[in-house]
């Protein structure tokens, strides 16, 4: 059994009127076993963030 490693993801809230709207946050996330694989809740509006993309570091 290997320890799950967190993945750096960029989450951006797209909720209109949210104080965090269109602001991107880089967070460490663990993939879920079931769909949705990536799920995050916005701290600004308490809505599920739809825009979650992997942060691919430029090597
Ligand atoms: Zn939000």
Burial per residue of 6-35, b for 16 or more beta-carbon CB atoms within 10 angstroms, e otherwise: eeebebbbebeebebeeeeeeeebeeeeee
Domain limits, the chain: 1-59
Q: From ligand 1's centre to the CA of 55, what distance in Å?
A: 19
Q: From ligand 1's centre to the CA of 57, what distance in Å?
A: 25
Residue pLDDT, tens place only, 19-40? 999 999 999 999 999 999 999 9
Q: From ligand 1's centre to the CA of 28, what distance in Å?
A: 18
- The whole model's pTM is what? 0.81
pLDDT bucket at 58, cuts 50 / 70 / 90:
low
- pLDDT at 2 (0 to 100): 75
Mean pLDDT, all residues of the chain: 92
Q: From ligand 1's centre to the CA of 41, what distance in Å?
A: 8
57's CB contacts (< 8 A; 6+ apart) are: 8
Q: From ligand 1's centre to the CA of 15, what distance in Å?
A: 5
Higher pLDDT, 57 or 43: 43
Return the minimum-mean-pLDDT range out of 12-16, 22-26, 45-49, 53-57: 53-57
Phi, psi torsion values for 17, nearest 5 degrees: 90, -5
């Amino acid at each position: 059994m290997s320890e799950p490693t967190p993945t750096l993801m960029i989450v951006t809230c797209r909720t209109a009127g949210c104080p965090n709207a269109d602001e991107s946050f880089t967070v460490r996330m663990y993939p879920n076993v079931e769909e949705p694989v990536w799920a995050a809740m916005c701290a600004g509006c308490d809505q599920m963030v739809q825009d979650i993309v992997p942060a691919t570091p430029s090597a």
